[in-house]
Every structure is written in C-alpha cells, then in structure tokens.
Chains A and B, each alone.
Chain A
Amino acid sequence: MKDLLILGAGTAGTMMANHLISKLPKNEWQISIVDQYKTHYYQPGFLFLPFDTYTEDQVKKEGKKFIPKGVKYIQKKINKILAEDNKVELEDETLNYDILIIATGSKIAPDETEGLLGPLWKKDIFDFYTFEGALALRNKLREWEGGKLVIHLTEMPIKCPVAPLEFAFLADSYFRKKGMRDKVEITYVTPLSGAFTKPTSTKTLNYLLEDKEIKIETDFAIMQVNNDTKEIIDYAEKAIPFDLLVTVPTNMGDEVIERSGLGDDLNFVPTQKHTLQSKEHDNIFVIGDATDLPASKAGSVAHFQGETLTDNIVLYTKGNKLKEEFDGHANCFIETGNNKALLIDFNYDQEPVHGTFPFAKIGPLKLLKESIFNHWGKLAFRWIYWNMLLKGIAIPFISRNMSYKGKLIDVKNEK
C-alpha cells in the first residue's frame, strides 16, 4: 500500500479527501488526513456574525462529518514535515508518505504588529477572522454607542481580500438600521493605493464609498498601535485615532511550515502556479491558503484548484506529466450592504469585469454590479458550501478555468 497524506482538514484539505477517495484505487492507496481541531468553520460566515446576521451554529459543524469513509482521519497536532525523508512527525507518532498534500491554510498573526495585543485587544480592538474574534466583536457592537470606527487591514496578502471592505459596507447598513449612523464615523484604512486598486472596479465602485459616507485613508503601512492615545500610527508617522478598531492583522501560513523550513517569510509554501506542485519537492503538492501563489486566498480558489490538483495527483501516481492548468480563477460574492451584493469572476491575467454569470447574456447573476439576486447568491452559498463544495461535488455550469464568455473584457490586466 502506498500512502497519500493530507495535512489540514479545512476547506481545501477536506475537498481533496473527497475528490481523491473515488479517484485512487483503494487496494493501492491509503488516504489519511491530519487536523488537530474537531470543528470545521464556515469562514465566510465570520463576516456576518458581528452583525447578528448569522448565529454561531450556522458557521460551525463537526469536521468528521465531511471526511469520507475510507479516509483515515487523524486528530493530532503536527510537529514537523520531514520533506527529505518523506515523513511527517505528529505529536506521538511519525507517518510515512508517498505523496503529501499541504492544506494547512493561513491565519492571523496579531503579534506581528507592535501594540496590537495590548490592553485594548478584545476591548476596543477586534479581528473578525477568527470565530472567537467575530463573536467578541458581535457582543461589542450590540452595546456600542458610537464614535470613530476604524476598519483597517495590515498588509497583503490576506485571506479574502475584499472582506474588510465588505465589513465597512455592512457596518454602514447595520448602524443605519439601528438608527445611529449619525453617531458613527467610519474610516477604511488600507496599505494599498485605494479601496479599489483595479481600473474597472475603481471606476464602477467608487460611488459605494461616497454613498455610504465611508472615509478612506490609503498607503498606510502600520508601524504600531498606541493603546494610550487610541491611535494607529504608520511609518510616515501619520496617526489615525479610533474608538473602535476592527483590524485584519498580518496573515501567515501555519507555524508547522516554519518549523519544517518549507515556507517564505510569511510561512507560505512556494508553489508552481499552474500545477500546484511544490517548487522544492516533486511529491509534495500545496493547495488553498497555504500556497504563495498570486491568486486570492479564498474558498472558491481552493475549489477550482481542487479540481486541477485531483487530476494532477492521478497523473503523478501514473508517472505522467502534470497539467499546467490552474489559471488563478476566483469567483466571489461581495456584500455591499442593504441586502445587495456584487459578484466578481477573475484569474491571474484578467481583472474583474462586467457581464453575466454563469451564462453569457442570460446570467442570472450580474458581474461587478450591485443586485439583490447576488446577495441571495451569497446567502445560498452557505448551503452549497456544506452540501456540495466540501464534498467535492462539482457546481453545475461553473468551470475550473475562468470562462471569457458573457464578459465585457475592456481592460487587460498589467500582467
């Protein structure tokens, strides 16, 4: 028997277990998946928790339910990947592998910013990228009486790059509904050159910030949080005061990547951008947020990668050449508040454009345009996630590579 080992039972790892169980001959391959945690979170739901749109139960389930029969589920901590020896050291045993899939994801690293974990952390400073953070923020928002709300992102890359902007839009709606929008000043702070950084998006979406009276601070590279004066300060010594800071801290790959010496300085694993094979080791493959690819860190990306990676693993087991197929495809709903949402579809080469999705001219979803239908799509997606995506069931009419049909391709990306 040969061993295929998956590290991480999050979105990407769970999908791979479900894909591969039916693709690899059972009498030749034993598939195992390792993850120390029992709970599987629906991470896109963390955006809705703070605003009381979702309940705790809607965003978490027992991970075991999604691991298919025939796959060995090992709930242990991973100490180290010994890539030269084809072994993975767990807390109390060492596993051998013939093929390794790294799906250890990314997480926030608030300790990377001076002062962020100071006395105001979880009192007036919150994240919403963890279940605990989103929940603590919900409790804070329920009783908050207003003031300066600063929504901040530390540095790229982050998981779901549009989430902080969506948070700003939803916060505007939330405070309007509560009848206290006049008591809240919302400022969006980004290290990038704008809230929108691509030409078509900038042109078509800037009105959102104006309509929602969201102030914007750009090119802000945070140096520290001053807990005494309640300010964030950047390297150009610009200070932005806050009463409530909602921040997306630096995102990093798992510490196991660092311990194993397999990552870059953010613990992301150098990966071939079209095959998903590790750049260093032929029998290691990387998927989802754990890669260093210039694609978005998002569930839809992991889903599209999963289809290519499944084919490539099968090709690899037969000694065949891998497909250079993955194109960076991402497909994301963006909440804009007031029960509306946008939909974007893009890849490594093509920026989000206008058009219809998934059918040319028909839709029913519209790209890069606010609609109530798109918002329903985002809400329906939770069901799709639990019932189709994790189980590796293909979503009808949505292909792994980006389709150019039905899209108004007016501006080519720089690269």
Chain B
Amino acid sequence: MDLNLAGIRLDVTEDGYLSDLSQWNKEIAIELAKKEGIELTDKHWEVIDYIQEKYKNDEALSIRGIKKSGVINIKEFYDLFPGGPLKISTLIAGIPKPKSCI
C-alpha cells in the first residue's frame, strides 16, 4: 500500500506501518504522530531513538525492555503514547510493531 505524507509517497503495510525504515525521517514522524493525536516532544524523540536502535540490532521490544532502558519509566511511556504505547511508538518510529508468528 502507498501513503502520501510530508510530500513523500511511502510504502506502508495494511495497518499503516512503514515497510522500509530508510524512507523514514523526522517530518514523517511528526505527521504520523499527528494522525495519532500526539505532538512530539524531546522525550518522544528520545524514545523513538531508543526503539529504532533496538530494531536495528535485532533486539525484541517489550515493556520490560522499556522499564530497563534508562530512557523512560513505564508510566511516562503510557503518558507519551496513550492507548498502546508499543504499538503507537513503533508506528511513529517507522519500524514494525511487535509481532507473534501468525
């Protein structure tokens, strides 16, 4: 599927996640966040950096990981990305949401 955002045509999955992290940039993140009703602050950017780094190293993302990240505590994580913080933060960071095998 295609999505036009910040003047760029993006390749996205059916549930709206970027298919290719190399298409991601900060303007796109801001637009994706807007669609979720979130205005990105410095703290959001820190979290985005952290989860992108985890993804690039093939490390699993979990609430436990967030707890031990030193970047943010779980309550703040929920406050920054209300609803489903892992699901929403990964969407904005341009990486796949945590998945199972089916």
- List A residues at the B interface (Cβ < 8 Å): 112, 155-157, 161-162, 165, 191-193, 196-199, 201, 205, 218-219, 221, 223, 235-236, 250, 264-266, 273, 292-294, 296, 330, 332, 334, 344, 346, 352, 411-412, 414-415
C-alpha spacing A250/B64, complex, angstroms = 10
**12 examples of A-B residue contacts, CB within 8 angstroms:** A155-B63, A156-B98, A162-B100, A165-B102, A191-B86, A193-B98, A197-B99, A197-B102, A219-B84, A221-B74, A250-B64, A414-B19
Closest residue of chain B to A271 (Cβ to Cβ) is: B58
Question: Digit string of B68-82 for contact with A (CB within 8 Å is 1, else 0)?
Answer: 100000110010000
B15 near A205: Cβ-Cβ < 8 Å: no
Is there contact, CB below 8 Å, between B68 and A219?
no
- On whether the beta carbons of A191 and B63 are closer than 8 Å, the reply is yes
Q: Are A196 and B102 in contact (CB under 8 A)?
A: yes
CB <8 Å contact, B102 and A162: yes
How near does chain A come to B24, taking the closest CB pair, in angstroms? Answer: 12
Q: List residues 43-102 of chain B with CB under 8 A from any CB of chain A.
A: 58-60, 62-65, 68, 74-75, 78, 83-84, 86-87, 96-102
Taking a contact as CB atoms under 8 Å apart, the answer to whether A161 and B63 are in contact is no
| Separation of A412 and B83 alpha carbons in the complex (Å) | 28
| Chain B residues within 8 Å of A294, by CB | 58, 60
CA distance A197 to B14 in the complex (A): 11
Verify A235–B101 contact, CB threshold 8 A. no
Chain B minimum-CB-distance residue to A204: B102
B25 at interface by CB-CB < 8 Å: no
A25 to B: closest C-beta gap in Å: 36
Closest A-B pairs by Cβ, 5 of them? A219-B84, A201-B102, A414-B96, A221-B63, A197-B99
Q: What total of chain B residues lie within 8 Å of the partner, measured CB to CB? A: 28
Majority secondary structure of chain B interface residues (helix, strand, loop or mixed): loop
Judge whether B13 and A346 touch: CB under 8 Å. no
> Given that A199-B13, A265-B64, A414-B19 are known contacts, is A344 also in contact with B87, CB under 8 Å in the complex?
no
Q: Are A199 and B102 in contact, with the CB atoms below 8 A? A: no
A368 CB to nearest B CB, Å = 8
A13 to B30, alpha carbons, bound, how many Å?
A: 48
Known: A235-B74, A415-B96. A156 touches B60 (CB 8 A): yes
Bound complex: CA of A293 vs CA of B59, how far in Å?
Answer: 8
Complex formed: what's the CA distance from A139 to B100 in Å?
Answer: 30
How far apart are the CA atoms of A219 and B15 in the complex, in Å?
A: 15
Given A192-B99, A332-B101, 19 other A-B residues pairs in contact with their CB atoms under 8 A: A112-B64, A155-B63, A157-B60, A162-B100, A165-B102, A191-B98, A193-B84, A197-B97, A197-B100, A199-B13, A199-B14, A201-B102, A218-B84, A219-B84, A235-B74, A235-B78, A292-B59, A352-B102, A414-B19
Tell me the bound Cα distance from A414 to B74 in angstroms.
27
Give the CA-CA distance A157 to B84 in the complex, in Å. 18
Query: Per-position contact with A for B3-32: 1 when CB-CB < 8 Å, else 0?
Result: 000000000011101110000000000000
CB distance from A242 to the nearest CB of B (A): 20
The smallest beta-carbon distance between B56 and chain A, in angstroms, is 11
Tell me which of A192, A199, A346 contacts B98 (CB under 8 A). A192
Closest to B95 in A: A414
Interface centre among A156, A221, A250 (most CB of B within 10 A): A221
User: Which B residues are CB-close (under 8 A) to A156?
Assistant: 60, 62, 98, 100
Cβ contacts under 8 Å, A411 to chain B: 14
Q: How far apart sit A334 and B18, CA to CA, in the bound complex (Å)?
A: 29
Expressed in whole angstroms, the minimum distance between the Cβ of A221 and any Cβ of chain B is: 4
B75 → chain A, closest Cβ, in Å? 7
